[in-house]
Amino acid sequence: MTNSSINFQMNTLGIFNIPFDAYVKDFLFIINGKEYKTNRIVADLISPKICKLHQTDYTIDSFSIDFTIGENDDSFDFNKVLGLVDFKPQQIKMEEIPYFLAIFEAFDNEQAVDLLPHIYEELTPNNAVRHIHEKIQFFEEKKKAVNSKQNEKSNHYALYLKKEIEYIAFNFCDINADQLKNLDVDILELIISHNQLRLLNEEYLFTFVNEIYNLDRNMYKLFEYIDFSNLSSKYMNQFIENFYFDDMNGGIWHSICKRLSSDHILLDFSSNRYKIRQFLYDSEDNGHHGIIYGLTQEGWLEENVLVASSSASESSHSVNELLNEDINRYYQSQNEDNSWISFDFKERKVKLTHYKLRSGRKTGSGFGNNDKFGDKIKNWVLECSNDGKEWINLDTKTNYSSGWSMVSTNEVTCEDFYRFFRLRNTGLNSNNNYSLVISCIDFYGYILNPSS
């Protein structure tokens, strides 16, 4: 019999049967000078902070909170908080909510967010910033101060605005910039440092930070979160012209050094920081840095782009030969009309502006420095699709000739982002057969990253 195993996990229903009151009351809460005894299990359940303290020092047996909220501070009964560990719904009066918030904040208990107003309203680009302002106003009105005797004040921004901060970070470019500019620097820092931040490009974030810095130099630390290595010289010059040296700190300098140590803009395509990434055609560099080339250099292509073909003449001329720069290696289909090669960008989509073909195979040397190339493509269509079934024609060529050159670079009008692109042979090639012979293909334009 072969060894085998199954996954098994206890469910959480058993916790409802635990007699917490029967355990030794070995933990003391001191709330505004009043003592409340319970046990360590209850203390760990209601307070992530105490639970974390017990992981390093289990001998801790007390926790103190002093707060000033209103005239009824002394009348608040902390036993209502301890009673929450029976995991049953509790009725909390509106006038008691500020006390629960004060205590939950001191406990680092994120569930306090359920007590805040508008918590069940769906966030949108139009109301997300308003949510933040209203929650902060709620705190200011209902909670004058919270002080722990351990002299540790938790960050209620990060704790209670977690949902809004993550939403705004992910939808940063869809939020009205003027609304964002009215947020405090600490909240803006939480937003633009969030790992869910999504940008159109780094220039968008730089422009936003630079504008509010020009209004208030106290915003200088937000430059720490600019990836200067992804800024063009134009925006680097704007930074140099506007930034005061006295505002420089280690974080800003570190990001600038990363930019200075590189000869060109560095983009990490494995990151989802950018909603849209640009691979624009540049005639000065011969269109060298297209999407296929760039993603191949980054080691990203094979895992995330599926390249397929209608057929291959032999294994040595498979579709994989398209992904190299060697002029002597090429893909060749069977001698069949309507032969094709396709690219599936899977979770990402591309909006095309140009594409480049290197067609044919070297057959010998010609006059001067011109080599001879056979089987060059003359008739084709480039198509796009989002389902791989319904195709839209982007470009059509009939009896096209590139002269001595193997390379053909073509501009296209593409109105939207598409997942699939297909190059399809529609007629005879330069050698009067139907073989589709391509030694290199590349695309230029914009890549739309996944939405999550």
Look over the chain and give the mean of its residue pLDDT values, rounded to a whole number. Answer: 83
Evaluate if residue 113 carries a pLDDT over 80: no
pLDDT tens sequence across 155-203: 556 667 888 999 999 999 999 999 999 999 999 999 999 999 999 888 9
Decide whether 12-160 matches 276-448 in CATH topology.
no
Q: Are 336 and 370 in contact (CB under 8 A)?
A: no
Q: Mark 63-73 as b/e (b = at least 16 C-beta within 10 Å).
A: bbbbbebeeee
Evaluate if residue 56 carries a pLDDT over 50: yes
**Predicted pLDDT of residue 145:** 44
Rounded CA gap, 127 and 369, in Å?
65
| Residue where the block lists tokens 């405090």 | 184
**Predicted pLDDT of residue 385:** 96
What is the rounded average pLDDT of the residues 322-346?
Answer: 84
Token duo for residue 161:
């605005």
**Predicted pLDDT of residue 382:** 96
**Predicted pLDDT of residue 366:** 47
Q: What are phi and psi of 278, to 5 degrees?
A: -100, 135
**Predicted pLDDT of residue 152:** 41
pLDDT tens sequence across 189-244: 999 999 999 998 889 999 999 999 999 999 999 999 999 988 888 999 999 999 99
Rounded CA gap, 449 and 254, in Å?
27
Domain 12-160: CATH superfamily is Potassium Channel Kv1.1; Chain A (3.30.710.10)
CA angle centred on 75, ends 73 and 81, rounded to 5°: 85
Token duo for residue 141:
């009105």
Evaluate if residue 451 carries a pLDDT over 80: no
| Residue where the block lists tokens 């139907």 | 434
List of residues 6+ apart from 5 with CB closer than 8 A = none
Give the DSSP letter of residue 118.
T
Residue 226: how many other CB atoms lie within 10 Å: 24
The pairing of strands 340-344 and 420-425 is antiparallel
What is the rounded average pLDDT of the residues 321-344?
Answer: 83
> Comparing C-alpha atoms, which of 217, 158, 221 is closest to residue 191?
158
The CA-based dihedral angle spanning residues 384, 387, 389, 395, taken in that order and rounded to the nearest 10 degrees: 0
End-to-end CA distance of the chain: 44
- Better-predicted residue by pLDDT, 11 or 129: 129
Q: Are 183 and 164 in contact (CB under 8 A)?
A: no
> Comparing C-alpha atoms, which of 136, 138, 139, 143 is closest to residue 69?
143
**Predicted pLDDT of residue 271:** 63
Q: What are phi and psi of 334, to 5 degrees?
A: -65, 160
CA angle centred on 423, ends 334 and 353, rounded to 5°: 160
Give domain 276-448's CATH number out of 2.60.120.10, 2.60.120.260, 1.10.1670.10, 3.20.20.70: 2.60.120.260
pLDDT tens sequence across 72-97: 667 788 998 998 888 888 888 887 88
**Predicted pLDDT of residue 153:** 40
- pTM score, whole prediction: 0.59
Can you tell me whether residue 365 is helix, strand or coil?
A: strand
Domain residue spans of the chain: 12-160, 171-260, 276-448
**Predicted pLDDT of residue 204:** 93
**Predicted pLDDT of residue 67:** 78
State CA 104 to chain mean position distance. 31
DSSP string of 334-355, one letter each residue = -S-TT-EEEEE-TT-EEEEEEE
Q: Are 187 and 169 in contact (CB under 8 A)?
A: no
Can you tell me whether residue 143 is helix, strand or coil?
A: coil
> Comparing C-alpha atoms, which of 448, 338, 327 is closest to residue 391?
338
Rounded CA gap, 131 and 322, in Å?
51
pLDDT band per the 50, 70, 90 thresholds, residue 370: very low
**Predicted pLDDT of residue 364:** 54
| Residue where the block lists tokens 């809460």 | 29
